[in-house]
Amino acid sequence: MSKVLVVDDERSIVKLIAVNLELENFEVRTAYDGFEALDRLQEDRPDLIILDIMMPRMDGWEVLRQVRENESLTDIPVVVLTARTNDADIIQGWQLGADEYITKPFSPVALVKTVQMVLKRSPGERRARRQREIVRAQLLRSLRERRE
């Protein structure tokens, strides 16, 4: 059974995600801000993290940075789940090491499928995908800027 840490300050979203993951036999741990997430990561290493960006005390960007800089955590896949939809945020997510970037509102079923898909990827596949997504996001941003 895979363990997933769900990090979001909106308790209703955490509950929605947890219920849907548990229906697919995932073991779910929760945290409601960045500091709590880092504490949970020290207590019990998950197989994947679902991470909101806009949270009190410590935002998701800082959590992602610390996860990627910590040798014992850096290989944990991270799915960013956020209301931030602009190109700069998406590019930042990929550059900081997100394995997937999903925007709210979201489909709980699609999120579960994304989690399942990410867990099947090897670390090398995840790194290569992040690099492709950085390039793709930068190209899209450049095209949009040219049109404006």
Q: What is the pTM assigned to this prediction?
A: 0.88
**What domain range is 42 assigned to?**
3-147
pLDDT tens, 117-139? 999 987 778 778 778 877 877 88
Q: How many CB atoms lie within 10 A of CB 75?
A: 11
pLDDT tens, 6-58? 999 999 999 999 999 999 999 999 999 999 999 999 999 999 999 999 999 99
The count of domains in the chain is 1
The amino acid at residue 52 is D
Give the single-character DSSP code of 19: H
CATH value at residue 114: 3.40.50.2300
